[in-house]
Amino acid sequence: MIYRKNKLTIDHLDISKIARKYKTPVYCYSLRKIKENIQNIKTHFKNINPLICYAVKANPNLGILREIKKNNLGADVVSVGELMKALKAGISPKKIVFSGVGKTFEEIEYAINKNILLINAESKSEILQIEKIAKKKKKIVDVGIRLNPNTDAKTLSQISTGKKENKFGVNQKIFLQLVNIVKKSQSLNLKCLSVHIGSQILSYKPYQKMLNVVNKIIKLSNYNFEYIDLGGGMGIDYNHDQSKLDFYKYSKEIKKFLKNNHCKIIFEPGRSIVGNSAILITKVIYIKEGFKKDFVILDAAMNDLMRPALYGAKHMIIPLSKINRKSKKSYEFVGPICESTDTFSIVKNYQKLNEKDFLAICDVGAYGVSLASNYNIRPKPPEILIKNSKIQVLNKRQKISDLI
């Protein structure tokens, strides 16, 4: 995404033309960026040779999943719907792991029927449930156990998952009990230890701590795990100031860990694959004067992009046409929804905007559309993919008539 002659472009395509043709708000993805991100992970972790299972929850668009499959990635799913979509995209079941604290009987049964690589269990009750279904089906099911390493990921509290007060995984004592239960089971095959401490992690240090805890518990359990699933969480540069996770440092920590442990590493990245691949194009409906700043009322809202309202997350907002006017303004960018949290950001010294101007909300490829809703009976926006400078419509705009 770069400005050419002050017009924002992706792969040489003028984004404002897309905005006019498909109307706003519209999600616009760059396939080149997705491929670049995948390649970046593959290159940095080459010596580790992980199985990369894309976290479908970040963006479950079928067109995107198909592209991810073409790049030989597997999938991390958390519901039967995600599992069905991953399979529909052609991802091999032998590259699919199933995470989540509340897998239902039906979901486990479906996953077992499809012979997926691993069901990563998160409680004793779940292990017993999987065993019961496996027994009924006269199958031996490969499972993992998710450890709660009680490690602070130093990220937003709402997206932190690896501390003891979080609902995810089991503590060390229960982990060891579960290892013994699975070892004795005739219907379960213990293959994996899994962890995931949170999302948008910007420093390698929480991962380093997590690996130390994992190392310790492996010794205590005296068991050879074929897989260690380290989850996802690799943070991206939302501020555009190079504040993203250093893959090199993280890979060094994993290499150290692998010296003591001979196992295959699994990654479950979501955001780091699709996060920076998309913009949400929006139009200024009105500008109204406020106290010390003006409100720029956009046609995109919290139902289209929940992250700012839900987590106070910041996404850069940039104009599709850059104008080097001297006069600068202070703006609060808001959506039209009747909630005070329907606000994206407050920016000082922004170029002076006019009603009907187009803007791009950046880095919305992960947890953008996947968290979108129909709140206020607003149809979900279309999703388009820019692929070799051509446009592919992945999803049309929902019709209002379908919502009524």
Choosing from 53, 192, 338, 362, which is the catalytic residue? 338
The rounded radius of gyration (Å) of the Cα atoms in the chain is 23
- From the CB of 98, what's the least distance to ligand LLP, in Å? 10
- Rounded Cα distance between 392 and 395, Å, is 9
| Cα–Cα distance, 109 to 61 (Å, whole number) | 24
Please name every residue paired with 76 in a beta bridge, in sequence order, or none if there are none. 55, 97
Distance CA 73, CA 148 (A): 26
d(CA 142, CA 118): 5
Nearest distance in Å: CB 78, ligand LLP: 7
Q: Identify which of residues 58 and 297 has a Cβ nearer to ligand LLP in the complex.
A: 58
Q: How far is the CB of 123 from ligand LLP (least distance, A)?
A: 14
Cβ closer to ligand LLP: 99 or 185? 99
Residue 34, number of CB atoms within 10 A of its CB: 25
CB closer to ligand LLP out of 320 and 369: 369
What tokens does 40 get?
Answer: 């970046």
Helices of type H across 51-195:
62-70, 80-88, 105-113, 124-136, 172-184
Q: Measured from the CB of residue 352, what is the shortest distance to ligand LLP in angstroms?
A: 31
Residues that bind ligand LLP (CB under 6 A): 55, 58, 76, 99, 159, 196, 199-200, 231-234, 268-272, 307, 311, 366-367
* CB 388, min distance to ligand LLP, A: 26
Residue among 381, 402, 382 at smallest CA distance from 301: 381
Q: Are 251 and 44 contacting, i.e. CB atoms less than 8 angstroms apart?
A: yes
Sign of torsion, CA 257 259 265 271? positive
Q: How far is the CB of 155 from ligand LLP (least distance, A)?
A: 9
Please report, as a single letter, which amino acid is at residue 165.
E
Cis peptide before 25 (omega within 30 of 0): yes
Smallest gap from Cβ 234 to ligand LLP, in A, equals 6
19 or 265: CB nearest ligand LLP: 265
| CA–CA–CA angle 300, 304, 308 (5° rounding) | 90
> In DSSP terms, which residues pair with 296 in a beta bridge?
287, 333
Task: Name every residue whose Cβ is closer than 8 Å to that of residue 65 and which is 6 or more positions away in sequence.
Answer: 54, 56, 75, 85, 86, 88, 89, 91
* Residue closest to ligand LLP when measured from CB atoms: 232
The angle formed by the CA atoms of residues 202, 29 and 76, to the nearest 5 degrees, is 55
Is 28 marked active-site?
no
Apex 190 CA angle, 187 and 194, nearest 5: 135
Q: Closer to ligand LLP at the Cβ: 74 or 269?
A: 269
- Indicate the residue among 233 and 382 with the shorter CB distance to ligand LLP: 233
Nearer to ligand LLP, 78 or 284 (CB): 78
Catalytic residues: 338
